[in-house]
Structure 1
Amino acid sequence: MADHVEIERKYDAESDFVLPDLSDVPGVHAVGEPQTHLLVAKYFDTPDLRLAARGITLRRRRGGDDAGWHLKMPVGPDTKKELRAPLGRAQVVPARLAGLVSAHTRGEPLQPVATLETGRTVIRLLGPDGEVLAEVADDAVAGQVIAGADGESGGPPSGGTWREIEVELVDGPAALLKAVGKRVRKAGARKAESASKLGRVLEPVLARGREQRPPATGPAQGTAGAALTAYLAAQVDALLAHDPKARLAEYDAVHKMRVSVRRIRSALKSYRPVLDRSRTDALRPELKWLADELGAVRDLEVLRERFTGRLDALPADLAAHQGWLDALRNQETAAYRRLNTALGEPRYFRLLDALDELLADPPLTDRADREAAKELRRLVRQAWRKLQRAYDGIEAAPPEERDTARHETRKEAKRARYAAEAAQGVLGKPAATVAANAQAMQDVLGRFQDGVIAQEHLARIAADSTDPREAFTLGALYEIERAEARSALNDVAATWAKAGDPAALNALRL
């Protein structure tokens, strides 16, 4: 399955629009000969258009240089990640592409919802060595909604025709996209009303759906409930955005997805006074399950990256013995397979449905109606006091239990950080300072914890090793990890002295 990042801008144009000369645009050395294509695409979505509502398009297109199945997911302004698969069967979405959108479809069938026929004329803007900097497509489009695409069986299909200019970067700089767009607008085109052709043809259907929804009944603006709901919505959006990236094993995607899950779970705990626990407490074990599934991959990922970096710093004769590291990579690959299975389970989809319901009808208590700044100050200070008690408990614990106490302190630091981050939009710099201080404690204790875990992993491998050279390498790494853990431990008190400065917490006084 091929993929690439698509960076483009779209412009609407009248039928008599004439594409201007682009050969003298700064950076362009030549313009290629026009090429024409007839593109026929069928778009797939759930009956209630869940993908379209998220700006995601899934199509099977014939014609042109890239015939096949295309899945496009927004990743930023003017930018989409596009994944492709061969044409295959006309009515059967490739399983891999269907899986990448299953966090949205959640078991609902994917069916044809629209067709688009595009007469396309493409010119390529070339660099000094003939490289393609950008492609400019002049499209005459005819779109049609398939009857019943909005979940209703009756009614005639609808659609329309229009002309559109697409400017897509290939190997050119971002400035070229802007320069070509300026030239096209000067010639009479205008910024497109829709970010996609499908969005344009489906907009009447989506608009009817929006009109039929009951009016929102969320908490009043300026209240603690409104602030918390906005934070939770942002984290759910992050979870959904990183879901397909985690399935594809993109760098750091599993970590970011797990962080969003942990933030949701932490908020449900730290902000309990403003939440109806009869509805939220059942969510927390399900969120923990998902975090653990992600963590199984992330922990192996961290160890592999950590040990790879350590080996790069060792003499070549020691770093040559890496059979055990290959085994770790294999474990990580297997963990990714298990994660993909978990992300396709009904349990995961039920959790996502529950999060949607939580946002649609927030389970708030009377305290959620209080003024946001006052209530959030209380809750952030409360989270910090729990961290302070946990830190004090390290010295109070018996020596053999202090590592456990440090781990609990790290967890409280993480909760205090997330509680302060959730309040940052309301409380501003004071909350940001508390979040940064909590993160400093989380990081220093995390360095210690990571060193301990690394030592334990190396000791297990060494116990099974029969190669003296490999055992020597493992021993060298073990000593490095022990020194790292000791260094982190020596930094804890100084980090707390700075992070625990009363001035930061005093700024949150009522």
Structure 2
Amino acid sequence: MDTNGGIETELKFDVDETALLPRLYDLPGVQTVAAPVTHDLQAVYFDTADLVLTAQHVTLRRRTGGDDAGWHLKLPLDAGRRREIHAPLGKHVLVFNGHSEADAVPESLAQLVRFHVRDSPLVPVARLNTERVVHTLIGLGGETLAVLCDDHVQAERLTPDPATTAWREWELELIDGPDDLLDAGKSMLAASGIHLSLHASKLARALGDRFPERPDAAPRRPRSSGWAGDVLVLNLHEQYEVLRAQDPQVRQATAGSVHALRVATRRLRSVLATYHSLLDATVVPHLRSELAWLGAVLGGSRDEEVIQRRLTGHLDREPEGLLLGPIRERLGSRADTDTDAAHHALLTALNSHRYFRLLDALAALVTSPPFTAVARQEARTVVPALINKEWKKLRRAVRTATKTVPGAERDLALHEVRKRAKRLRYAAETAHPLSRKRAATVSAFAQKLQTILGNQHDSVIARERLLKRGAVDAYLRGENTFSYGRLHALEQQKAAVAESKFWQEWKNRP
């Protein structure tokens, strides 16, 4: 990916044309202020026609002029801080409203906002011409502490309802200086009657009355005497926010992101199953079906990571004398091929209409849940009853497992127990705001079962891989299959230990 950038920390101030620059060298740690440098900047801002990115305080622009020409994507972190990502200018210019505006948005940046824009096109929404005078604040060691930019801006709103405006503003941005330098600058300017800008960004000011309001904040905190529906909505909101955070990370192949996205998907599907009586009966089946599809796609990528790490661990611990034939090369080559295929399938899914419609449906569910009468009953009555139902389902699954014979039938039964334990865990975690101690006890126990049986299930998959994709292929090539059989036996032993540990833990259930 051709992106780079960093964390942007800055403050903006509204100033009029007569405002005089303050004594910047009076700020703490500032040794001198470099001679001012003037830049002429041109920027075209991109968004959807309904300004989805702007509503989320995400900025995507193409800038020419100055020392940072290129594509800039700014993602909000917290107050005054944004993650800024860059990409170089392209060569092909597109035409908008009869004017040459900019080359198409680089795919590397478009992928990072895909969660927000989905399948809507990105179009130019504003054009800004800025005369910028840069004052660089130098520290005692010659380092650049911060810059103050004195900007005169001419802005044109392109859509909706074209309009023009002009203003002056100052930006104080940290470079290598401490955070308290911004506080000192803010205090110095306030003493001169200059205060923080009322506008979130230049784009917000350019859009004027068309600047969209940010979506509602997090839902209200559940109370025992409040609605049961509040418990559900808070959990749905939390997992939807995980999807929002992890979607771009998965697209960048960030370590751990596939697992995080998969867990959030599973939590959503599980909680919808537990709380289905609180929602319109026509909504839950479709959402759970689509979440199952997404989970399966994520699982393909995640399972390859887990199994490869597991088998590599075996190989690394085995004495070299017991590794006969090219087993390491064979397993590694096959794993690389399977991992690449799984990741390609995942990215295809994340760019599909099906995925975008799932996100639409989840967003609608969080903001306007189709509650039934049960959702409006007291949480302290409804939620414990739902968790008890999950307990009963887990017990039934365990009883079924006790009646199976060791082997494939037992493996399937224990996998079902694991899924039931996972659902109980997620259900108990939703009750944390209502009964912290009991919820923590139940969820911790269920998580322990899930972990133990997860290890057992991973062993089942690893053994299948070693037999069907390892030993059989090696035999057909005329290679030595001894080491595949040895690793298979080690996995059998691991599975037996995990199963024994599960039964012991089950005896000590709370």
Pick the TM interval, shorter chain.
0.7 to 0.9
- Choose the corresponding residue for 2:110, options 78, 95, 98: 98
Asked whether the equivalents of residues 71 and 88 of structure 2 are also in contact (C-alpha less than 8 Å), the reply is yes
Q: Quick check: 410-419 or 227-236, which moved more? A: 227-236
1:362: which partner in 2? 369
Pairing 1:478–2:488 present:
yes
- Choose the corresponding residue for 1:49, options 38, 41, 51: 51
1:382: which partner in 2? 389
Asked whether the equivalents of residues 411 and 460 of structure 2 are also in contact (C-alpha less than 8 Å), the reply is no
2-structure distance, mates of 1:323, 1:106: 39
1-structure distance, mates of 2:89, 2:367: 38
2:295: which partner in 1? 291
1-structure distance, mates of 2:162, 2:188: 40
How far the C-alpha of 1:344 sits from its partner, in A, is 1.6
- Choose the corresponding residue for 2:203, options 179, 198, 202: 198
Q: Quick check: 429-438 or 267-276, which moved more? A: 429-438
1:114: which partner in 2? 126
Identity of aligned residues (%): 37
Asked whether the equivalents of residues 126 and 134 of structure 1 are also in contact (C-alpha less than 8 Å), the reply is yes
Question: Helix, strand or coil for the counterpart of 1:107?
Answer: coil
2:85: which partner in 1? 82
Question: Residues 13-51 of structure 1: CA distance to partner in whole angstroms, max 9, x if unpaired?
Answer: 3443426338963xx999877655433221100111111
How far the C-alpha of 1:293 sits from its partner, in A, is 1.2
Superposed, 1:37-436 pairs within 5 Å as: 37-75=39-77, 78-80=81-83, 82-88=85-91, 89=93, 90-118=102-130, 119-121=132-134, 123=136, 135-140=146-151, 142=153, 144=155, 146-149=157-160, 154=161, 156-158=163-165, 160-168=167-175, 176-188=177-189, 196-199=201-204, 201-202=206-207, 204-207=209-212, 222-315=226-319, 318=323, 321-400=328-407, 401-436=409-444
Question: Helix, strand or coil for the counterpart of 1:465?
Answer: helix
Asked whether the equivalents of residues 462 and 474 of structure 1 are also in contact (C-alpha less than 8 Å), the reply is yes
How far the C-alpha of 1:303 sits from its partner, in A, is 1.8
1-structure distance, mates of 2:279, 2:308: 40
How far the C-alpha of 1:365 sits from its partner, in A, is 0.9
Question: Helix, strand or coil for the counterpart of 1:10?
Answer: strand
How far the C-alpha of 1:202 sits from its partner, in A, is 4.2
Q: CA RMSD in A?
A: 3.4
Query: TM-score when scaled to structure 2?
Result: 0.83
Asked whether the equivalents of residues 22 and 31 of structure 1 are also in contact (C-alpha less than 8 Å), the reply is no
1-structure distance, mates of 2:145, 2:479: 53
2-structure distance, mates of 1:427, 1:394: 31
Asked whether the equivalents of residues 141 and 164 of structure 1 are also in contact (C-alpha less than 8 Å), the reply is no
1-structure distance, mates of 2:83, 2:42: 21
Relative to structure 1, the CA distance from residue 160 to residue 235 in structure 2 (aligned partners, 3 Å threshold; closer, same or farther) is: farther
- What one-letter code is carried by the residue in structure 2 that aligns with 1:2? D
1:504: which partner in 2? none
Question: Residues 291-333 of structure 1: CA distance to partner in whole angstroms, max 9, x if unpaired?
Answer: 1111111111222233344444445675993342133123212
How far the C-alpha of 1:403 sits from its partner, in A, is 1.1
Q: Which runs of 5+ in 1 are unaligned?
A: 170-175, 502-510
Relative to structure 1, the CA distance from residue 484 to residue 75 in structure 2 (aligned partners, 3 Å threshold; closer, same or farther) is: farther
Question: Residues 262-283 of structure 1: CA distance to partner in whole angstroms, max 9, x if unpaired?
Answer: 1111111101221211222222
1-structure distance, mates of 2:173, 2:480: 57
Asked whether the equivalents of residues 20 and 183 of structure 1 are also in contact (C-alpha less than 8 Å), the reply is no
How far the C-alpha of 1:108 sits from its partner, in A, is 1.7
Question: Helix, strand or coil for the counterpart of 1:64?
Answer: coil
Q: Which runs of 5+ in 2 are unaligned?
A: 94-101
Question: Residues 40-78 of structure 1: CA distance to partner in whole angstroms, max 9, x if unpaired?
Answer: 221100111111112222111112333212223335562
Question: Helix, strand or coil for the counterpart of 2:433?
Answer: helix
Asked whether the equivalents of residues 54 and 212 of structure 2 are also in contact (C-alpha less than 8 Å), the reply is no
2-structure distance, mates of 1:31, 1:483: 70
- What one-letter code is carried by the residue in structure 1 that aligns with 2:351? G
Question: Residues 192-233 of structure 1: CA distance to partner in whole angstroms, max 9, x if unpaired?
Answer: 6566443454464235798xx9xx99x999201122112112
2:99: which partner in 1? none
Query: TM-score when scaled to structure 1?
Result: 0.83
| Residues paired across the two proteins, number | 482
2-structure distance, mates of 1:324, 1:209: 50
Asked whether the equivalents of residues 137 and 145 of structure 2 are also in contact (C-alpha less than 8 Å), the reply is yes
Question: Residues 340-374 of structure 1: CA distance to partner in whole angstroms, max 9, x if unpaired?
Answer: 11112211122122222222321211011011222
Question: Helix, strand or coil for the counterpart of 1:48?
Answer: coil
2-structure distance, mates of 1:497, 1:134: 62
2-structure distance, mates of 1:384, 1:413: 8
Relative to structure 1, the CA distance from residue 278 to residue 183 in structure 2 (aligned partners, 3 Å threshold; closer, same or farther) is: same
Question: Helix, strand or coil for the counterpart of 1:397?
Answer: coil
Relative to structure 1, the CA distance from residue 30 to residue 356 in structure 2 (aligned partners, 3 Å threshold; closer, same or farther) is: same
Asked whether the equivalents of residues 41 and 116 of structure 1 are also in contact (C-alpha less than 8 Å), the reply is yes
Pairing 1:458–2:463 present:
no
- What one-letter code is carried by the residue in structure 2 that aligns with 1:487? V
